[in-house]
Structure 1
Amino acid sequence: MRVSVLGLVLALSAVSACKSRKEEPAPPAPKVSRVGLVLSLGGRGDQSFNDSALRGLEQWSAGVKSAGEGYQPLSAEERRASLEGLDTPLPALGVTPLVVQSRVAEDYEPNLQLLADQGVPLSIAVGFPMENAVETAARRNPSMHYLLVDSPLLSAQGEPFTLPNVRTVVFREEEGCFLVGALAGLVTKTGTVGFVGGMEIPLVKRFEAGFRAGVAATRPQARVLVNYTGGFTNFALGKQVGQDLLVKDADVIFAAAGVDGLGAIQAVKEARDAGKPVYVIGVDSDPSHLAPQAVLSAVVKRVDRVVYEAVKDERAGTFQGGTQNLGLKEGGITLAPVRLDFPGKAEALGALADFQAKIIAGDIRVPTHPDQLPPSSP
C-alpha cells in the first residue's frame, strides 16, 4: 500500500532574511485543502473509470498532472484539452491530491482509514466494490466526508440508505448504451455486433441491456454476440474475447470491461490496421487516442465532473450527503464525439439526437436488465 502525496508547492520558509536589527515575521503558509482518492483495482492508466476520477481530481480540481512520483503544473493548453466538450468552465480549486492505489480488495478499508488518520476532510472511493469500506470508514469517522462513485450504500437486506457524511452517485448507464447500440446497428455491415462485459453483475448488465435495446431500435434483425470476461483487470483475456468476436463476424464491438475492455480495443485496432472494416466503442472515458482509426464513440460516464463538484462543495463548505442519480438529462452520461466517417453518418447522428431527446423526455424507457428485452430481441 503506497500513498502518493503529489501536488502543489507549499511555502515552507519560516524566517525572512534579516536586513535590519528588527526581524520580520514569516508569512503564514497558504491554506491548501487535501482531498484523498482511493483507486479501485484497475488503477491509474485504465483509460476508463479510474482515469476519469483522477482527471476530475488532479487535472480539473488541482490543475496538475501526474509525473512519476510527483506532479507537474498543467499548462493552459493541456487544461483546455482536458476540458474539451464541457459546456461550462471549471476553474482549478487549489487542492492537494492524495492518491492511494488498492492492490487487493482488502486494501479498500485501510486505505480510507489511512486518509482519515491524516486528517483528509474528503475522501473519494472509486467503484461499487468499495461500498462496504466506505460505510465502515464513514461510521468510524463521522467528521470526515466521503464520495462513493457507482453505488449507493446498501443495508444487509440490499436496501439503499444514506449517511449524513456520505454522498453516493449512481448513473443511468443504460441510456448512453442505448445510443451507442443504435449507432452500432446503423454502422454494421455484417449484421453482427459484439458486447464485451467484465463481471456479470447488475451494473454491467445495464450496459448490455441498453446496448442490445439500441441495436434492436435501428437494426432489429442484427445478431448481438455477448461475452463476459469475469473481471476488469485482464488485458490479455479481453483481447482474446475481442478477437473471438471478430472471427465470428462482429464488425462493431462495445467494450464495457475496464482493463479487459482495453484488450478488446487493441484486438479491434489490430484488425483495423490489417485492413478489416471494424469498429470499437469504449466506455467511461473516450479511448479514441488509443485507436484513432477504430474507435467509433464511447459512453462517457462523467465521473470526472462528479469528483470536481464534490471537491468544489468541500472547498466551499457546502458538501452534503445523499444520493445522486445521473443520466443523459443531467449530463452525467454523454457520448464521445463520433470522429470517424462512414456512409450515412449525418443521418445516423440525426437519429441519435432524436433518440436522446426521446429518452430525456421519457418517451423511451431503456431497459436496465436483459430480462426486460422483448423475447424477439436477438
Structure 2
Amino acid sequence: MKNVMRAGVIGAAAALALAACGQAPDEGGSTTAGGKSDFKGCVVSDSGGFNDKSFNESAYNGLLDAQKELGIQTAQAESKADDQYATNISNLQSQNCNIIVTVGFKLATATGDAAQKSPDTKFAIVDSPATDAKGKALDLDNVKSIQFDTAQAAFLAGYLAAGMTKTGVVGTFGGLQIPTVTVFMDGFADGVAKYNEVKGKSVKVEGWNKETQKGLFDGGDHPFDAGSGKSNADTLIDSKNADIILPVAGGAGVDALTAAKDAGDVSVIWVDSDGTLTNPDATSLIMTSVMKEISTAVDSVVTDTANGSFDNTPYVGTLENKGVGLAPYHDFASKIPQDLQDEVTQLQQDIISGKIVVQSDGSPKSGS
C-alpha cells in the first residue's frame, strides 16, 4: 500500500486535531468536494459511533482526508447497535459506494457476507479480517484488512509507565477480551517486565496477566461506551494503588480520565489516537498515547482504490512502517527524565531492528 508511509505521527496528529473540531457526521449522510470525481468512498462505524474519540472517529477522519485530497464523494452510516451492521452496509451498497470501510471486529461477519454477495464492491475492514458466520477468516479478492501490531508501541508505553510510576503499580483494563484489545495489554505488560529486568525493579501490573490471559474488562451490553469502564478505573486506583492507567476500551477510556482527575495524582496513557488532541481538556492527565495510524491507513486504501490500485494484501501497521507508535509527550515532556525518554527511543529502534521481538497472540499476521 504505497501511501501508508507518507504521513508520520505529526501529520496524522494534525489531521486529528482539525477533524476533532468538526461536527459529528449524520447517519447515512453524503458529501462531495467540488464534484471532481464520481468515485464514492463510504464508512460504517461499530456501535461506538464516530464520536468515540478512538478508532471509529479515526477511520472516519481518514475518509474525510481522502475526500479533501481527491474530491471524491463520501457517505457514512453510524451504527447505534450491533444488529444494524448488515443493514448499514446494505444501505451504503444501494448508494453505489465503490469502497466501503467497516470499522472493528464486530463488523467482520457482516463484511464477509456483503463482500461475497457483491464481488464488484471493494471493502476494507479495520482491526479484523472479514469472516464467515463461524468466525473463520475469509480470503476474498475484494476485501483488504487494516490491522495494527500495537503490542510493539504498547511495549514502549509499558516501559515508560514503569519508569514513571511513584507507587510501583501501573494498571490496565479493556472493553472486551478480544485480540485487538489484549494485544495492547500484552505489549504493555512486556514493557513493564523489560523495565524491571533492566533496572532490577519490581513494578507491578494490575488488570492484566499475560501468562494467564486474565484481567479487567468492561463487559456488559455496551463495553466500549463511556461509563462502562468506571468500575475498573476506580478499582485500579482505589484498590490496587495504580498511578498510571492504560484503558483499552474505546469511549470508556474517558472513565479513566475522570478517575485520574478525581484522584489528583494519577496519569493515563491513551490508545488508538493522540488523546491530548481528542481530549483537549485532559492534556494534563495524558502522559502519551499508543497510536494506531488508522486515519492514514484508511486514507491510503481509499486513495489507492480511487486510483485503480486496490489489492487485498492485508496491511499491518508496525513501528517500522510508522503504522503504530507513541504520541508526543506534550505536557509531560518536561516531566519525563531525558534518560528515560532516550531509553524508550532506543527500545523503539531495537524493536524495529529485530533485536527485541514483542510477541502477543493478538498480533496480526504480516501483510503489506
TM-score range, shorter chain: 0.7 to 0.9
Greater displacement, 164-173 / 340-349: 340-349
Matched residue, 1:170: 147
How far did residue 157 of structure 1 move? 7.3
Judge conservation of contact 1:194–1:250 (CA < 8 Å) in 2: yes
Give the secondary structure class of the aligned counterpart of 1:236.
coil
* Residues 272-311 of structure 1 mapped to structure 2, 5 A cutoff: 276-288=264-276, 289-311=280-302
- How far 1:310 moved relative to its partner? 1.0
RMSD: 2.0
Kept in 2: contact 1:152–1:161 (CA 8 A): yes
Rounded Cα–Cα distance in structure 2 between residues aligned with 1:321 and 1:221 = 45
1:181-220 alignment runs, 5 A limit: 181-219=158-196, 220=201
SS in 1 for 2:193: helix
- Tell me whether 1:94 sits opposite 2:100 in the alignment: no
CA distances 1:255-279 after superposition (whole Å, capped 9, x unpaired): 11011112112221333xxxx3321
Higher relative contact order (CA 8 A, sep 6+): 2
* Contact 2:112–2:132, Cα closer than 8 Å, also in 1: no
Structure 1 partner of 2:357: 365
Post-superposition offset of 1:178: 0.4
Cα offsets for 1:282-339 (capped at 9, x unmatched): 0001111241111000111111011100111122111122312221111110211012
Distance verdict in 2 for CA 1:319–1:3, change over 3 Å: same
Match of 2:17 in 1: none
Q: Deviations over 1:222-279 (max 9, x none)?
A: 11110211253332231332122111311110111011112112221333xxxx3321
What one-letter code is carried by the residue in structure 1 that aligns with 2:43?
L
Distance 1:356 1:160 in 2: 31
Task: Confirm or deny that 1:315 pairs with 2:341.
Answer: no
Structure ID, larger Rg: 1
**Are the structure 2 counterparts of residues 156 and 236 from structure 1 closer, same or farther at C-alpha, using a change threshold of 3 Å?**
closer
Structure 1 counterpart of 2:234, from 203, 225, 243: 243
- Letter of the structure 1 residue corresponding to residue 148 of structure 2: F
Q: 1:258 aligns with which of 224, 236, 250?
A: 250
1:352 maps to amino acid: V
**TM-score, normalising length from structure 2?**
0.81
TM-score by length of 1: 0.79
Helix, strand or coil: the match of 1:46? coil
Residue 67 of structure 2 is matched in structure 1 by 62
Aligned residue number for residue 212 of structure 2: none
CA distance in 2, matches of 1:53, 1:134: 16
Question: What is the SS of the residue equivalent to 1:297?
Answer: strand
Q: Hey, what does 1:229 align to over in structure 2?
A: 218
In the aligned structure 2, how far is the partner of 1:326 from the partner of 1:102? 26
| One-letter code aligned to 1:305 | T
Is 2:43–2:75's contact at 8 Å kept on the other side of the alignment?
Answer: yes
Unaligned runs of 5+ in 1: 11-28, 64-91, 371-378
- After superposition, the C-alpha distances for 1:21-72 in whole angstroms (9 at most, x for unaligned) are xxxxxxxx653422110001110211111111111112x1223xxxxxxxxx
- Does structure 2 conserve the Cα–Cα contact (< 8 Å) formed by 1:239 and 1:265? no
The match for 1:4 among 28, 49, 74 is 28
Pick closer, same or farther for the CA change 1:49–1:314 going to 2, 3 Å: same
Contact 1:187 1:342 in 2 (8 A): no
Greater percentage in strand: 1
Amino acid at match of 1:222: V
